[in-house]
């Protein structure tokens, strides 16, 4: 097996899909990283700089409420939320990833849990003022995404927010290899989960070559403080036209 980190992940994903177990390769890749020092392709071990600007869009109620990080990986985004003052739950399907979070952040206030998005406890419904989902949907097969989007939408309390990020493509553009970019239509499915779209940005990042991405903020409506639109992200009413796709390999 190749030692290139993305190739290893793609090989594991392809095999798991072919065997009809599309959720099992996450633990395999984290376990390989633990045992053999293999790199996890998405683990930069820093809070995601593509997502942090979205938080300027969310009114700062005091005290800050409960926050949920979906597919938390090694925990850097969850720790950022906790340092910001949220009471954070973070979950991942991979037990090895969650043990690594607990090992890395031994004095953490984050409640790290092993859980599968598709079978989380029903009592999580409507419990979170802030939910952060980045890059989980794009590593799930397209046929599981609608259910995943419904599950994520359900977590959000009235007046609460969803911060969302993924890789992006147009309908008709090939998905390519894992990670599989979402279309605008797929990302809009959150609206069918009862959320309003507050911000939606379709942009190219600063990687070389640049990667096309979506980042967005959704809200479950109630009588909450008015939105403050930050200067660094684009309101939905003014969605930019993306430049032609770069040569991103996923």
Ligand X SMILES: C[S@@+](CC[C@H](N)C(=O)[O-])C[C@H]1O[C@@H](n2cnc3c(N)ncnc32)[C@H](O)[C@@H]1O
Q: Where does this chain bind ligand X (CB under 6 A)?
A: 23, 26, 42-43, 48, 71, 73, 91-94, 97, 116-118, 134-136, 139
Residue with the closest Cβ to ligand X? 71
User: Smallest gap, in angstroms, from Cβ of residue 13 to ligand X?
Assistant: 11
Identify which of residues 221 and 249 has a Cβ nearer to ligand X in the complex. 249
Tokens (6 digits) for 39: 């790199």
Q: Taking the complex as a whole, how short is the minimal distance between the CB of residue 71 and ligand X, in angstroms?
A: 3
Nearer Cβ to ligand X (19/118) = 118
Nearest distance from residue 220's CB to ligand X, in Å? Answer: 21
Select 40 or 157, whichever has its Cβ closest to ligand X.
Answer: 40
Q: Shortest distance, CB of residue 95 to ligand X, whole angstroms?
A: 10
Please, which residue, 129 or 138, has the CB nearer to ligand X?
138
Q: Which residues pair with 89 in a beta bridge?
A: 68, 111
Whichever of 92 and 201 has its CB closer to ligand X, that residue is 92
Handedness of CA 225, 83, 155, 195 (dihedral sign): positive
Distance of closest approach, residue 22 Cβ to ligand X, in angstroms: 9
């Amino acid at each position: 097996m190749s030692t290139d980190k993305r190739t290893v992940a793609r090989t594991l994903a392809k095999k798991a899909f072919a065997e009809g177990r599309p959720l099992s390769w996450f633990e395999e890749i984290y376990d390989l990283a633990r045992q053999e020092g293999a790199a996890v392709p998405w683990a930069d071990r820093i809070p995601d700089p593509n997502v942090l600007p979205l938080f300027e869009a969310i009114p700062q109620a005091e005290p800050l409420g409960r926050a949920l990080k979906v597919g938390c990986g090694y925990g850097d985004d969850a720790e950022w939320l906790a340092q910001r003052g949220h009471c954070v739950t973070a979950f991942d399907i991979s037990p090895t990833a969650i043990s690594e979070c607990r090992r890395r952040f031994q004095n953490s206030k984050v409640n790290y849990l092993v859980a599968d998005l598709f079978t989380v406890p029903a009592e999580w419904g409507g419990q979170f003022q802030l939910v952060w989902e980045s890059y989980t949907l794009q590593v799930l097969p397209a046929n599981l995404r609608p259910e995943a989007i419904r599950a994520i939408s359900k977590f959000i309390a009235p007046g609460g927010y969803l911060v969302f990020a993924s890789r992006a493509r147009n309908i008709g553009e090939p998905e390519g290899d894992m990670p599989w970019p979402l279309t605008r239509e797929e990302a809009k499915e959150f609206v069918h989960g009862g959320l309003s779209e507050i911000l939606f940005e379709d942009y190219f990042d600063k990687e070389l070559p640049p990667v096309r991405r979506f980042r967005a903020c959704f809200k479950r409506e109630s009588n909450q403080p008015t939105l403050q639109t930050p200067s660094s992200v684009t309101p939905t009413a003014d969605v930019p036209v993306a430049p032609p796709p770069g040569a991103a390999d996923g």
